[in-house]
């Protein structure tokens, strides 16, 4: 949740209203710094310092257990790109898993919530209730939905195969251990879990579109589809950019679902980048290597975000 | 055409209710299973309702010394509450300074905070481990309370809200001889209750649900919060689902109750994130 909400702030950073900040009477010139001090202390130690430290770490061979932590230059980075290194195969498998999940989940997480939002967009009795119900899974953490869906997707004891059986479908699908089922499970659960979140954001965007635009379109004889294409979609463009960007980031950062639901299975095929970084950093006691992976990962994500912005900017012209 | 409109309304509700079932059924199944006993939960195919209704799952988690679930619950409650308070205090003060006060370095500071929005928090997890390790916070409550408060979201959110407040009230307070701190505490904060409530609820939820960071920095069974605890339960009980589901119910109830009570704040916080406060 933190990732998404944090990214959300970028969108809301609207230009400040007119009027300059003022210096009130009766206070010293250090007052503003005192106001900022508590936040800046935490921000400096846990927000800024780790950025610098991460880069520095990535240039060292850093074993928590050993006193000697030599400088190794760009070796940790080179390892990720040379086929004969110990980490090469696992690293790229994790990158591939993350890419598969992102490519498969983002289109659904962008379109399904839009459908929900359109369904909820007009006033009808029970609207607030249904909105709350659709949003409810998102309130639960990944740990709860992870252990819950591990159980629901259990091939023998799970509800999913039980319900499939009732409808005359195969009741023995290996949701957690077979391919492509494991990916279908992870994407499906993530859609179920977070689509209410994107739907709420879309709803706010839909309500910002002036009703007069729809009236004008009706006067011009536009049908439902025309109105959706020519009024709704253009009106949603800023919201769409926000949703696509935050959803790509959230999907690329996926960890808990595969850690708890498929537990990486089959084999380690569903182990994601974040999982692999954490595992390398802790279990194998090589923080330098894991830090290098973090840096590469952060750069990749930044690239994707920039591409996103450009894509939408371009369409606007 | 009353026929078609009635038909359309029926179709709409049919879709709405079907969707609602998809979202609710898994949660209902969690509760149902938490009330089964072990043999009942092992039946193939599964039974639809508990037979008999059993307190087995809850007894297991409340009496397990290897998995002190109640302790995790209290840890989570304490951590999320303290975290929300810390975010409120630090973000409100910083947000006010950035919205209303003029000082040297304001732009640079603001730009730095903005810049960190583009760094995915997961990529800082390794260096942050080093930071908390060097101040001796590994495996303590502080490690799940404090570092997350470095998030820029709260500062932005409240800054936007403060900017939307009418300046006249603050100016009147200054004319009455109040200093900046008094103006902030007596005038600005009371006007900001909805925004503060929204931020408090969102911060609480985020912290309560956090999984990746706690499994990374908490180790002792008695120090865990509920999310890493659930992972531990899953590992210990494997297919003893009533026990695992009882734990999941325990982790769900507080946030679901909070959501029902503070739905307006949650939805507003998510959908507007400060655009309209």
Give this complex's ipTM. 0.92
SS (H, E, C) chain B: CHHHHHHHHHHHHHHHHHHHHHHHHHHHHHHHHHCCCHHHHCCCCCCCCCCCCCCHHHHHHHHCCCCCHHHHHHHHHHHHHHHHHHHHHHHHHHHHHHHHECCCCHHHHHHHHHHHCCCCHHHHHHHHHHHHHHCCCCCCCHHHHCHHHHCCHHHHHHHHHHHHCCHHHHHHHHHCCCCHHHHHHHHHHHHCHHHHHHHHHHHHHHHHHCCHHHHHHCCCHHHCCHHHHHHHHHHHHCCCHHHHHHHHHHHHHHHHHHHHHCHHHHHHHHHHCCCCC
Structure-token pair, residue B18: 């079907």
CATH code of the domain in which A279 resides: 1.10.3720.10
pTM of the shown model: 0.90
Q: Do B20 and A295 touch (CB under 8 A)?
A: no
Indicate whether A1 belongs to any domain: no
Burial class of residue A99, CB neighbours in 10 A (0-12, 13-18, 19+): middle
Q: How many domains in chain A?
A: 1
The nearest alpha carbon in chain A to B170 belongs to: A24
- pLDDT for the residue A8: 37
Q: What is the span of the domain harbouring residue A248? A: 53-316
Q: Is A19 helix (H, G, I), strand (E, B) or coil?
A: coil
CB contact under 8 A, A39 and B174: no
Among chain B residues, CA nearest to A44: B150
Per DSSP, the three-state class of A161 is: helix
Q: Quote the mean pLDDT of chain B.
A: 91
Judge: B206–A2 Cβ closer than 8 Å, yes or no. Answer: yes
How far apart are alpha carbons B141 and B79 in whole angstroms? 7
pLDDT tens per residue, range A28-55: 778 899 999 999 999 999 999 999 999 9
CA pair distance A305, B118, nearest whole angstrom? 9
pLDDT at A91: 95
d(CA B219, CA B211): 13
Main-chain dihedrals φ then ψ at residue A60, nearest 5 degrees: -125, 160
Q: Which is nearest to B157 in space by CA: B92, B109, B205?
A: B92
A27 within domain boundaries: no
In which element (H, E) is residue A307 found?
A: helix A287-316
The whole-angstrom separation of Cα B272 and Cα B265 is 10
Chain A interface test: which of B123, B149, B242 (most A C-beta within 10 Å):
B123
Does a structural domain hold residue A18?
no
Measure A232 CA to nearest chain B CA, in Å: 17
Q: pLDDT tens digit string along A6-25?
A: 333 333 444 444 444 544 44
In a domain, A22, yes or no: no
In this structure, the number of other CB atoms found within 10 A of the CB of residue A298 comes to 18
Name which of B210, B230, B260 is nearest A147 (Cβ-Cβ).
Answer: B230
Q: Would A156 be classed as within a structural domain?
A: yes
Copy the structure tokens of residue A121: 């967009």
More confident: A123 or B21: B21
pLDDT at B115: 78
Given a cut of 70, whether residue A168 has pLDDT beyond it is yes
- pLDDT value for B273: 52
Tell me the residues of chain B between 162 and 191 that have a Cβ less than 8 Å away from chain A.
163-164, 167, 170-171, 174, 177-181, 183-184
Distance CA B193, CA B240 (A): 45
Q: Looking at residues B115-133, what average pLDDT do you find?
A: 87
Q: Is residue A155 domain-resident? A: yes
Higher pLDDT, A8 or B115: B115
In a domain, A44, yes or no: no
Q: Can you read off the two tokens belonging to residue A117? A: 């939002």
Give the number of C-alpha atoms closer than 13 A to the C-alpha of residue B111, restricted to the C-beta side: 4
* Spatial distance between the Cα atoms of B33 and B44, rounded to a whole number of angstroms: 14
> CB–CB of A105/A191 below 8 Å?
yes
pLDDT tens column, B251-276:
999 999 999 999 988 888 887 653 33
The mean pLDDT value for B46-51 works out to 88
B109 and A53 within 8 Å at the Cβ level: the answer is: no
Domains within chain B, CATH numbers bracketed: 69-272 (1.10.3720.10)
Domain-located, residue A269: yes
């Amino acid at each position: 949740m933190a990732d998404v909400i944090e990214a959300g702030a970028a969108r809301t950073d609207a230009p400040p209203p007119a009027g300059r900040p003022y210096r009130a009477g009766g206070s010293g010139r250090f007052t503003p710094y005192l106001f900022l001090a508590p936040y800046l202390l935490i921000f400096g130690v846990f927000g800024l310092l780790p950025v610098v430290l991460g880069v520095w770490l990535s240039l060292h061979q850093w074993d928590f257990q050993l006193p000697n932590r030599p400088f190794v230059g760009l070796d940790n980075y080179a390892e990720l790109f040379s086929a004969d290194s110990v980490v090469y195969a696992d690293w790229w498998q994790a990158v591939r898993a993350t890419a598969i999940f992102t490519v498969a989940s983002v289109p659904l997480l962008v379109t399904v919530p839009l459908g929900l939002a359109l369904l909820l967009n007009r006033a009808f009795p029970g609207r607030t209730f249904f909105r709350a119900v659709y949003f409810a899974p998102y309130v639960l953490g990944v740990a709860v939905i992870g252990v819950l869906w591990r159980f629901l997707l259990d091939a023998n004891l799970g509800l999913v195969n039980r319900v499939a059986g009732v409808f005359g479908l195969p009741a023995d699908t290996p949701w957690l251990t077979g391919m492509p089922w494991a990916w279908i499970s992870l994407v499906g659960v993530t859609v179920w879990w977070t689509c209410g979140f994107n739907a709420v954001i879309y709803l706010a965007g839909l309500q910002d579109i002036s009703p007069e635009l729809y009236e004008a379109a009706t006067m011009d004889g536009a049908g439902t589809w025309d109105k959706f294409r020519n009024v709704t979609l253009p009106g949603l463009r800023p919201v769409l950019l926000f949703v696509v960007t935050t959803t790509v980031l959230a999907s690329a950062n996926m960890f808990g679902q595969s850690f708890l639901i498929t537990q990486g299975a089959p084999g380690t095929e569903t182990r994601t980048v974040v999982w692999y970084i954490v595992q390398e950093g802790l279990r194998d006691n090589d923080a330098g290597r894991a830090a290098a992976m973090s840096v590469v990962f952060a750069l990749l994500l930044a690239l994707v975000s920039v591409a996103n912005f450009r894509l939408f900017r371009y369409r606007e012209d | 055409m009353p026929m078609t409109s009635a038909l359309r309304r029926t179709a709409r509700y049919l879709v709405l209710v079907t969707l609602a079932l998809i979202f609710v059924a898994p949660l209902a199944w969690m509760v149902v299973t938490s009330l089964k006993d072990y043999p009942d939960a092992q039946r193939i195919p599964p039974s639809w309702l508990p037979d008999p209704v059993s307190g087995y799952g809850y007894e297991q988690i409340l009496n397990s010394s290897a998995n002190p679930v109640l302790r995790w619950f209290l840890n989570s409650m304490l951590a999320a509450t303290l975290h929300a308070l810390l975010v409120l205090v630090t973000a409100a003060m910083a947000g006010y300074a950035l919205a209303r006060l003029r000082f040297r370095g304001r732009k640079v500071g603001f730009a730095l905070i903005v810049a960190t929005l583009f760094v995915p928090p997961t990529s800082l997890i390794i260096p942050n481990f080093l930071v908390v390790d060097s101040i001796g916070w590994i495996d303590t409550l502080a490690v799940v309370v404090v570092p997350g408060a470095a998030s820029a979201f709260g500062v932005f959110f409240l800054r936007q809200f403060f900017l939307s407040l009418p300046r006249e009230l603050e100016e009147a307070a200054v004319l009455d001889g109040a200093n900046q701190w008094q103006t902030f505490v007596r005038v600005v904060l009371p006007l900001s209750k909805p925004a503060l409530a929204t931020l408090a609820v969102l911060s609480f939820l985020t912290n309560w649900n956090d999984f990746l960071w706690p499994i990374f920095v908490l180790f002792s069974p008695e120090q865990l919060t509920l999310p890493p605890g659930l992972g531990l339960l899953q590992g210990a009980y494997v297919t003893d689902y009533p026990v695992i589901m009882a734990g999941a119910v325990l982790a769900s109830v507080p946030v679901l109750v909070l959501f029902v009570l503070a739905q307006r704040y949650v939805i507003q916080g998510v959908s507007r994130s400060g655009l309209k406060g």
